[in-house]
Each structure stands twice: as structure tokens, then as C-alpha cells.
Structure 1
Amino acid sequence: MNREKWRLFPKSEGVAPYILLTNLMIPMYFLLYEPSSIQWLGFVLLGIFVLSFRQSYFYAKWATPILIVQVGILLILAAVFHPMYTFIGFMIAAPLSKQKLPILLSITIVFTVSMGFIAVPYLDRMGSLVWIGLVPMFGICILPYIIRTSTRFQQKSARLRAETAERMAQQEERQRIARELHDTLGHTLSLIALKGEVVEKLVNRHPQRAIEEAREIRETARAALKQMRELVTEMKVTYFADEYKHAVSLCSAAGIPLLFQYQSISDPRPSNVGMEDALVNNPLPLTPLQETILAMCFRETITNVVRHSRATKCNVHLDIQEGEVRVSVRDDGIGADTEQFYTSSNGLAGLRQRLVMIDGRMSLSSASGKGTEVTLHIPRVIRNEKVGRA
């Protein structure tokens, strides 16, 4: 037996539904003073309203028909008894806010027009207190939109906080990689450079000693290569396709449409296919380290678009060519002087430094009021003759 359906309201809702039920006290009190000939109708309508209110918590798929019935009951109460009976419309403001906008607008218009006709006979009697009659209208015609806007703002804020937390985690990963590179390889590469100078000095005076030093350089280089491979193996690989999904989510939360275009040497015409469709048969021809740095730089670029550009749309263009992989991010935001980008705190200077690690580079074009385009250039690793296949 499903005990949950035998409860008055779901346990997960807490006390909120019970608090909303207290709104019934006002119409029930005034019903006691209505003529007995119509009093029964008022209590029946309130009973149906409460029943539908309770069922709306258990049958979400019937939310729209239930709300239509509830609004109809409010209009009947207003027409038969008094417009102030629609005060209980506050009880359904939250469910109304969850409806699709066309449905919500339709209910608002119908309710407003109907209440206008119903309230006309009461205008002369209410006099200066006519504004009180607008209070019930607030619960149906205004409050749902306030709740809707507030909920969407909270959802966007939550998404942005989640993206920020993930970005901080990525930043910590970058710092870990930098420490590993410095601690593991910095000393070794310095030693190789020093021994190289020694070999240069000994090659003419002590050839045998120079040969021994050269052998040590070879062994040291092999050890460094082994350490690098171990570091890359342990390093968490970040894929460009995954970062693009995060970018879509981040831009959506900020209200910026993101358009993806794909182009390759085998298909030179840009196409607006999905990221998954573009890479399913043509994965990026990059090493794990290259793709990780590309993904990190792409994330930094998209973050700058969301935080600083004030853009209304953003285009991402992935171009796989014979010699390199290019990712361009173009927005229609406020733009800026290109010199300011490298002196401001938007992270582009650090982005260029990361690209240098893999012999990559960045190009930037921007003008005040004309948007910004950032292009990441990654030298391509050719693994076989078919372009685009790893």
C-alpha cells in the first residue's frame, strides 16, 4: 500500500500546504452569514477547491486541468457571493507560476476580464475602498509572475555557482600540474642545460670526458621523459566536448545563446552540426595534454564572455586543419581595446602562457562596441593519413 497517497499532503512539502489552508478561514467565516439558500453552494465549492488543491500535490501531470477548475471555482464564488472570495487565489499562485507562459498568460487574461465584469456592480458601493478589491487579483494576476521570475533567477544563480565551483576545481588541477612540472622536471632540465654547456667546453680538449657527459645527458633526458609520461598518465584529462557542454549550460544560465559551427580540411564548408555529431567520427587529433589545455583555455574564454562581454549571443567555431586545430569564440558584446585585455584581470595573459606549453598560440580581435573574437591555435598531431581521426 502506498501510504504517501493517504497523507493529506506529501511529507516532503513540510508545513507549507497547511499554512496555505489557513486562507480558507476568511471565506468560510463570511459564508456563515450568507443566505442558507446559497450557503450550501459556497461550502461545496470550497470543498472541491480544497480537494483539487490536495490532489495537485500528488498528480503533477494533471496540474493544468486542476488549475483551470480552481480558477473556475474562484470566478463562480466571485459571481455568486462577492469578489473578495477570490482571496483564496493566493493558494494557487505557486502552481500557476510553474505553468508554461502561454497557459499562464491565458489564465491571467481570462481571470482579469471575468473579474472586471463581475466587479462592475460593486464599484458604486465600495467607493474609495475599491482598491481593496484589487488584493485578490494580486494572487492570480501578479504573484505567479513574481514567483516565476524569482525561481528562474535562483536557478540561474545556482547554475553559475556550480560552474564557479567547478572552475575553481579546474584551477586547482592546473596549479597541481604546474607544481608537478616545476618540481619533477625543473631540476632535471636545468641539469641537462648545465651538462650541455660542459660538453661544449670539453668536446675539443677532452673528447672522452665529453662523450661520458653526453651519455649522462642522454640518460637524464630518458629519465625526464619517463617522468613526463608518468605525470601525463596521472593527470586528469579534460575533453573539449565536455567543456563545450559546460559552456552551453553556463551561457544558458546567463541568457546567451551559443551556436556551434564545425569545419575540417575534409569538409571545408562550416556546418551548424552538434558537437557530438561533429566529433563522433572525427575526434580531435590532439594528445591528452593538448586537449586538456585546449579545454581549459576554452573554458576561460567562455567565462570571460559571460562575465565581461555583456553579449546577447556567442558563436563557437571549431576548425580542424592539416597543421592545427583552431577554436574561435566570437561574441557581440561591448568589446574593448586589445591592449586592455592583457593588462586587465580577465586571465588572458595566463591563457597565453598555458598555450605556450604545447607550442600553441592565441589571436585576439576586438573593438569597442563591436564584440570580441578569441581564437586558440593548437598545433596538430598527425597520427595517420585520414584527417581528423586519432
Structure 2
Amino acid sequence: MKWFRLLPKGTGITPYIWALLYILPFYFIFQSSSLSRIWIGIVLMIAFVAASQLSQTKNRLLLYVWTFLQIGISAVMTLHYDYVYLAFFIAYFIGNIRMRVHFFVLYAIHLTSVFITINYSFIKQNEVFISQFPFIILCLIGAILLPMNTYSQIKRGELQEKLEYANKRIAELVIQEERQRISRDLHDTLGQKLSLIGLKSDLASRLVLKSPEQAKNEMKDVNLTARTALKEVRQLVSKMRGAKVADEIIHARQMLEAAHIDFQYSGDSKLADTPPFIQHVLSMCVKETVTNIVKHSQATSCDMLIEQTPTDTIIRIRDNGIGIPANIPSGNGLQGMRERLEFVNGSVSIASTQGTIVTIRVPRVNKQKEAGDSI
């Protein structure tokens, strides 16, 4: 067995202190008058060193066996050789036990053993033992504080590692969520604008022979829409500025009218007491719904209602199109809507009866009002 394996892990002068505590008991052993006591003391120290190494096991039964052996040898060394300082080794070892129950059990047993052996030695009024009184007090304090300090440091280190791992995972999840959010925003923003460009391009191609001037105007709208889409994408990527429901309703009206779908709207679109992030989520959901109406519904009319109850903000969008077949799975757009709304504890429901009705609902929280009511 290599020498450094006998020393507890440490830095600086700590290994030398432990080495001294290993060597010092032999001074007390060789003070014995009989050769048999000397040999017994040497055997006890060898057994103590072996037990200290064997006690570093994950087997609970063996942990108790080897620790009890160390406590017993320490008690014998205190009572018969006036050497109490093996208690430092045991205290340090117990402090490194990570299992909470085993730590407190062994800590209580060791501390009880140290108290009993020290008090018994003082009762015997052994001169050698009494002459060490200041050091024995320090040893007793060490037996009390060292395990607790070592145990708390290890637990603190484990908590720090867990905290670092948790922070790393949170950072990864935030990045992943941000990527998904950006992809949804790009899908919703570009999807609507590209659909509008497609509609106007088709219209312009049909009008190029019949009404060249109107076709020219439609192409101007295509150019304007393309520039608007580019601007929105730049804003989305660089500033990630949240959209507002009122602005999105204007865009929705333009898109529906370009698709020759009548649009009617009622309600307060400003949503003054709604947080910007909620407004952004609602506007993206409105954009996705309108895009789906233009692409798939074959509707001729669409109406939107915004209402605010004491508990919820509700946006209901209805068209008179062909509806959504039950066997058609949800696409990326509808899935993105659900993910956005789930993030703010909202919900979306879709009903296909004489057209399609999309109901978007988010909890309404007016923090300023709540704070005023509580005063």
C-alpha cells in the first residue's frame, strides 16, 4: 500500500499534519513499560490504518463494521496509551460520509465514545493525560466541529455542482425555446406575406392582358408587400420586437381583401391592459389563423370578435368556408399556436360547423389594478 494512500486528501500542510498524527501515537506506545503493551499498541495502529482504508466502501454493513473498529481502537488508545488524537481521523472520515442517516448515526456514536473515554481518563487522574489538557480540549472541539464542517462543505460542493448543471440545462433550454420561437415567428411572418404575394401575383397575371394598369398596381402591391416582409424579418431577427393585435388586424384586413374575402371586425383591439408579450402571442395567433383562412378555407367572408371578460381575453375568428376535415392532422401553424398559448396558460379551440370558428383564449391579468385593490 503506497504511503500517500494513507493520507486523507488535502492541500498545503494538511497532509503533513495527518502524517504527524499517524506517527505521534508511536511515541505514546513506546512509553509503555512492557514489551507486550508496545506490540499490542503497534498492532492496534496497523489495524486502525487498515480499517481506515477498508471503511471507504459503499457497502453499508462494512462501513459500520470498519468505523466501529476505528472507534474501538481510538477508545483503547485513549484509555491505555493516553493518546486521544485518533479521534481527528475518525471525525474527518465521518464528515466525508455523504449518506445523511449514516453520517448522523456514526457522528453521534463517535462523539459519545470520545466524551466517555476523555471523562473516564480524567476521573482516573492520569498525569500524562492531564498534562495534555489544552490539546485534549482542542481534540474534543475538533471531534464536534470537524465532521459537521466537512459534511457541510461536501454538501455545499454537491449543491454547487447541481446548480451549475441546472444553470447549464436552463441555458440550453432557453436557447432551444428561443430558436423555436424565432422559427415560429419567421413561419408566421413570412407565411402571411408570401401568401399575399402569391395571391397578388396570380391576380396580376390574370389582369395583365385585360387591365394592364390594374395589373401594374397589383405588382406595386407585391413589391410593397415584399419590402414589408423584409422589414419585418429584419425587425424580428435584430430587435425581436413584439407585434400588437391592433396592427395585426390591419394586416389581416389587407390580406383578406386581397383574397376577395369580406372582413368584419368588432371589439377593442388596443387591449391596453394586456402585457406586450401576451399581445405578441395573440397577434401571431391571429396572423396564423388569417393565413390559414386565405390558403385553405375557400371562404367569402370572415369576421373577428375581441372581448375581454374579468378573467380572460378572447379572440374569436369565424369564416364561412369549407371547414377543417376531422382526419386532417394539425400542421406546423396550428401546433405553433398551441405551443405559444400554452406558454402563457392560454388555449385555442377549433370548431368546423358551417365554416370554421377559431377561439383563442388567454388569462387576463391586470397587475396594476390588483395592486390598487390590495392597498
TM-score (norm: length of structure 2): 0.49
User: Of the two, which has the highest radius of gyration?
Assistant: 2
* Greater length-normalized contact order (CA 8 Å, ≥ 6 residues apart): 1
